[in-house]
Every structure is written in structure tokens, then in C-alpha cells.
Amino acid sequence: MTADRHSDPLLDPLFTSDAAADAFSPTARLQGMLDFEAALARAEAAVGVIPAHAVPAIGAACKADLYDLGALGAEAALAGNTAIPMVKHLTRTVKAADEESSRYVHWGATSQDAMDSGLMLQLRRFLDGLDADLAALADGLADLADRHRATPMVARTWLQHALPTTFGLKAAGWLDALGRDRQRIAAARTRLALQFGGAAGTLAALGDAGPAVAEALARELDLPLPALPWHASRDRITELASSLGILAGTLGTLGRDISLMMQMEVAEAFEPSGPGRGGSSTMPHKRNPVSCAVLLSTAIRAPALVGGLLAAQVQEHERGLGGWHAEWQALPDLCRLVAGAARHARETIAGLTVDAERMRANLDLTRGLILAEAVTMALGDRMGRMAAHSRVADASRRAAEAARPLRDLLAEDAEVVRALGMDGLDRLFDPLRYTGAASHFIDRVLALHRHQRRQQN
């Protein structure tokens, strides 16, 4: 990453993605505002508000690399926002090339128009990169779910062994949640619209031409035209931020599960390995869950950022004081973090090592106790549920105390053998025979995933 992408070259490569860092770099922030200014000139010339000859000079000056970011930042510290010095420097640059054209820079607009519309362009670029990672992650999860639909493993509730499940169903659960996240983000994206209202949201400076300029500007920037300017109505921002916060939680759940499965005592799945990845500065044997750490740290940090943006939604009258300013760093920070988590999740799932034999072996750790419910349900058909539950619970207690397989204890119970038979007892202790509708649920999630892919293509 270049220094311009963000301010911390030591940590940004860990916690964000190149695409997000590019989208929210200082240069990208400035270029977004300049793209607004160039498009505004084209739109106003098309409607006849400014002369057409002013457009080339303004457009030629709307290039971020022409300006000193440090100087703009120093002036913004006094002006209160970045657009005010940007307009001054842009006007000066245009004037040096064509004094007449410089009269029409930023014609009829206000600082927030440039900043918010520029942000919309940044967000569009960011969301393109994020969705590419999420699409690849979804495809990877779909592949895991399908390939491991019959890979038995322990289902854990309250972190304890519960019943058999399949790794395919676990992957399908991650995929299903991710699908909803992508739908929420896509819906929020449709409401990211042009900001153009002038000083107080009326476009009064443009007279009767205001609506026509707004329509032309929306076309130039390829942004939706809202019903009216939204300077103080920040629900568009908080909707996207909330959706990103929920996504952070989904990715955090994936990270939590995989990190627990990576524990040596469990050893069922592992992040990809490679030179320099997941090592320890002192313990050569370590294989640390690096990506999971990023997913979990993002899930920890995102809610505070989302909460700040929700608090900032309350703004005063036609343009707010302080609330708008609170968005400027919080939203890019949230976007960068979530993009980094999405990148790590994609890479982890693409290279995940799955130990199916260890998953199967872990099912036997309780010596068959994990299938006590299966036996109870089968016996319940013969002797009633409560009597069956009592009988299996007693056998389970004695099996645990004696460290013996539950099947052996039940095989010594003549009434159980009469009810189930030895072959029936053996079948009940096959974990794959007690995964219920797991395969059916996987099929449903995969069908939803295929449908979503068709819609997006």
C-alpha cells in the first residue's frame, strides 16, 4: 500500500483491503469532490446556466494530483471542511488557465454538495470492491457446504457437545447469513443518491433552472436523483453503516467458529498456512488464526463506529452542526475495517484445511453419549418418551462414570435390546444417521445462493 492510501502503513495491510484503502485515500476524497465539480460544470452548461466554453478549463483543473493535500488540510482546519479550500484552489487553478471560466466554478452549489456527492462516488467504488470479495466468499462457502454435506461433525451448544451435524450445514449457515448481509447492503446502495441543494437545500441560486441542473448532474455522475436534497437527513448513511455493522457480526461469527475449530484440542479446520503467516516470535510450532483475529477485532470495533454514526443522524434544521462532521472519519474507518474482514474471510475460506477424520473422531469423544437423544427417540416409540428418557439418562450416567461406551451399557439392557435389536442399536450409533434434515437445509441455502447469483449477474 502507498502512504496516500491511509496513514498507517504498519497496520493497514492487516486490517483493510487495497480496494477500500484506495477508495478512501485522501486523494480519492479530493478526487470525489473534484469529479462533482467537473460534472456540475458539464450539467450547468448543458442546461444553459453557464457558458459551454467554461467546461474544458474547469474539467482540466479537476485532477487531484494538481493539488497539495497538506495545504488543503491546513486550510480545512480553519475553514471547517475540506470543500471550502478545495473550491478556492480549484478556482485559482482554473483562473490561471482561463480567467473567464473561473467565474463559473462551483456555480450555485455548496460545500456539502461537493463533499456528500463525492462521498457517494467513493462509496460506489468501495462497494464494488467489497461485493467482489463477498461474492467470492459466498462461492467458497457454497462449495464447502456442497462438498461436506455428508462430513459428520459435532454440533456444539453452549460450547459443549450436543448432537451430530455436518460441516456442510455449518458452512451453509455462514452462507445463509452472508446472503442476507449482501441483500441489505445492496438495498442500502440503491438509496445512495446525488446531493445537490445549494446553500439551504432550495437551489435558489440557480433560479428556475435548479431542478434541470440537478437532473443533468445526476446523469453526469450516474447517481440516483433524490426527491429533494438530504443535507440533514442522514438515514442513507446510517442504513449503509448498520448493514456493514451486521456484516461485521456475520464475519465475526465465522471467525469465532473457525478459531475454535483450530484449537489443537479440537483440530477440525485450519486457516491457510504459508511462509510468515500465523507464526510466533518465540514459539516455532505456532499456527495462529491470524485472519480470525481480524474478523473478531472488526466485530468488536464496528459496533462503536455504527453507534457513532447513528448518534450523528440527529441533525439540526436544514444543515447540521457536528453530526455531519462526525461522519467524515467514522464512515471510512468502518468501511475500511469491514472490507479488511471480508478480504480475510474470502482468503480463509478459499484455503481452509478441513480435517474430516478429526471431525469424525471428535464425535466419539463422549463414547456415544452424543447419540443419547437418537436412542431416546427410538425407544420412545416402544415404551413412551419419559420412560425412554429415564432409561437412557441412567445408562448415560453409568457410562460416563465407568468411562464405557453408551452402546455397550444399552446392549446389556435386555428390554432395550428387545425393543431395538442389536442391529437397530448399531444403526442408532452411526452419526450420519442422525443429522436430520441437514442435507435438505443445505440444498435450500444453495438454491438461494444460485438465485442471488443470477440476480446479480
| pLDDT at site 1 | 43
Average pLDDT over residues 414-441: 93
159 CB contacts (<8 Å, ≥6 apart)?
A: 260
Question: Per DSSP, what are the bridge partners of residue 155?
Answer: 163
- Closest by CA position to 71, among listed 48, 49, 90, 52: 90
| pLDDT at site 287 | 74
pLDDT at 341 over 70: yes
pLDDT at 285 over 90: no
What are 347-378's pLDDT values in tens digits?
A: 999 999 999 999 999 999 999 999 999 999 99
Give the 3-state secondary structure percentages of the chain, helix then strand then coil, rounded to 5: 70, 5, 25
What are 193-243's pLDDT values in tens digits?
A: 999 999 999 999 999 999 999 999 999 999 999 999 999 999 999 999 999
**CA 337/CA 359 separation, integer angstroms:** 32
| pLDDT at site 288 | 84
Average pLDDT over residues 406-427: 91
pLDDT at 2 over 70: no
**CA 362/CA 347 separation, integer angstroms:** 26
Where do we find the cell 438454491? 447
What are 42-94's pLDDT values in tens digits?
A: 999 999 999 999 999 999 999 999 999 999 999 999 999 999 999 999 999 99
Average pLDDT over residues 390-418: 92
328 CB contacts (<8 Å, ≥6 apart)?
A: none
Helices (H) and strands (E) in the chain, counts: 19, 4
pLDDT at 35 over 80: yes
| pLDDT at site 3 | 54
**CA 247/CA 338 separation, integer angstroms:** 8
Catalytic residue list contains 336: no
pLDDT band with cut points at 50, 70 and 90 for residue 9: confident
DSSP E strand stretches across 217-356: 269-270, 353-354
pLDDT band with cut points at 50, 70 and 90 for residue 457: confident
**CA 206/CA 394 separation, integer angstroms:** 84
User: How much of the chain, in percent, has pLDDT values that exceed 70?
Assistant: 96
User: How much of the chain, in percent, has pLDDT values that exceed 90?
Assistant: 88
Average pLDDT over residues 383-398: 91
**CA 177/CA 173 separation, integer angstroms:** 6
Catalytic residue list contains 280: yes
Q: Show the domains of the chain with their CATH numbers.
A: 1-109+203-221 (1.10.275.10), 122-193+230-361 (1.20.200.10), 366-420 (1.10.40.30)
**CA 178/CA 254 separation, integer angstroms:** 10
Kindly report the average pLDDT of the chain as a whole number.
94
Which of the residues 182, 319, 346, 407 is marked catalytic?
319
End-to-end CA distance of the chain: 31
> Is the entire prediction scored with pTM above 0.95?
no
Average pLDDT over residues 128-155: 97
Which of the residues 7, 92, 273, 280 is marked catalytic?
280
**CA 214/CA 208 separation, integer angstroms:** 11
| pLDDT at site 276 | 57
Higher pLDDT, 127 or 287: 127
Backbone angles phi, psi at 223, to 5 degrees: -115, 145
| pLDDT at site 277 | 58
Helical packing angle, 26-47 and 210-221, nearest 10°? 130
